[in-house]
Chains A and B, each alone.
Chain A
Amino acid sequence: MSLPQFPSMADPGSDFSALLRKSGTEPFPVPAAPQSPDTITHGTTCVAVRYVDGVVMAGDRRATAGNLISHRSIEKVFPADRHSAVAIAGAAGPAVEMVRLFQLQLEHYEKVEGSPLSLEGKANQLGQMLRSNLPAAMSGLAVVPIFAGYDLARETGRLFEYDITGGRYEESDYAATGSGSLHAETVIKVGYRRDMTADAAADLLAESLFQAADADSATGGADTLRGIYPIMVTIGADGFSRLDDDDVAGRFAEIAKRFSDNHREA
């Protein structure tokens, strides 16, 4: 691989997707024929909620193809950079690739320009990527992410939802995406308090995933047999951090016990 050089008129600037295109790789390829949802691996439920000093985000670990479980330990919540995270639902292949590209896009910009993008700029970048993916989405490879981060300029956590056209919608309180999002969002809506701590917000998201997994076959809850637990992350002023599995397992064990006490058939 040689050093990429461009005449000044054709310079891709700090845009990594443009650099990829100029180097002969199309970052958002469109399949030749529409794809059936039964053959494509799909990621399912992700949720995020704002708390007083930032954002908490969570996603289950299941991927399905049609009515089969294709992976039990897929990861759908990723750090985008030091102060933001992205969670994905939809066709798993293009979604994971989009996250990889998005992470690199932010890092590439930061290195070329010498300073990171604003949170708003990052959110818009993700919207532009989704717009580029629209032809693929219309062929069955839809990706629907949530973007969340800590805005260092405004000193607050912020949340963004998207649709497949690249439409970007800032949410003031919470967001959910994927097949179980209807159930998950209802749980969050009922339990949401504006003055929640990170800990209370994490408990609420755990509850929302538990209920989504209980009602939606494509959403995986805590898999205690294998020790696979949903991924939960917090993003505050000091950046992205992932809760360790023991912490998440404890939250789910508590919810399961409470649930079982109330619902076990006599």
Chain B
Amino acid sequence: MSMPFYVAPEQMMKDRADYARKGIARGRSLVAMAYEHGIFICAENPSATLHKVSEIYDRIAFAGVGKYNEFDQLRIAGVRHADLKGFTYSREDVEARSLANNYAQMLGQTFTHEMKPMEVEILVAEITDTPGEEQLFHILYDGTVMDERSFVVLGGDAESIRQRVVAGFSDGLSASAALELARTALAGEERTLENADLEVAMLDRTKGRRTFVRIPDGDLSGL
């Protein structure tokens, strides 16, 4: 009988984290920020059909970067969780915080117990009727949860994008200002991003019950 080599737990976790980070860094990044009517989410995504940003519930949106099939599986689990909860209790009982905790549990579990960690970073965003109460839950591949109020950057090059967002961010941005800030932050100095390279969606509290709005590439100029 062959004995497996001993690997220190620190080494094992580090290897997995490196593996997940490398996978995420291969994809493109995403910015979400509070704006005048709620939360503005902009992803660098050349595909018009494979979405990174989607609707979970009336006031909750989901966004993911990294491996598409993995975050899409998380998205569907989130829609199911929210719809089941809203049906069993009531629509107002569906909250981003509980969903974010569930995602964290699932990602943490996969990170420590499965063969390979998920190569994803996800965002659960929620708005209320009141400006300033936006919630952005940023969840990492190992189940780490961070909550932010004003903006968040997901993806490989997060730190430099983050610095560019900080430089231009202020409270109560209009949708078009938020779009331009996201565009320049995602692009950096050496590139320019066209409308077709971006995927934009918002949680807009003026839109009635279902606040999620996706803006097709063609309509971006009209924001």
Interface residues, chain A, with chain B CB atoms under 8 Å away: 1-5, 16, 19-20, 23, 25, 100-101, 104, 107-108, 111-112, 114
Contact = CB atoms under 8 A, between A and B. Distances in A.
Given A111-B56, A112-B76, A3 B83 contact: no
A36 to B, nearest CB: 29
Interface in B124-153: none
B105 A19 contact: no
Contact of A4 (B55, B81, B86, B87): B81
Contacts, number: 51
Closest 8 pairs between A and B when the two form their complex, measured CB to CB: A4-B80, A3-B77, A3-B102, A111-B79, A108-B83, A3-B81, A1-B85, A111-B55
Contact of B103 (A3, A111, A112): A3
B79 A3 contact: no
Nearest to B83: A108
B192 interface: no
Given A20-B87, A108-B79, A111-B56, A3 B106 contact: yes
Nearest to A5: B77
Contacts of A2: 81, 102, 105
Contacts of B105: 2-3
Contact of B84 (A4, A100, A111, A114): A4
Interface in B49-63: 51, 54-56
Interface residues of B, number: 22
A16 B83 contact: yes
B54 A111 contact: yes
Contacts of B87: 16, 20, 100-101, 104
B57 to A, nearest CB: 8
A260 B20 CA distance: 78
A19 B79 CA distance: 11
Interface string B85-122: 11110000000001000110110000000000000000
Nearest to A108: B83
Interface-central residue, B81, B87, B105, by most chain A CB under 10 Å: B87
A114 B80 contact: no
Contacts of A23: 84
Contacts of B86: 104
Contacts of B84: 1, 4, 19-20, 23
Nearest to A114: B51
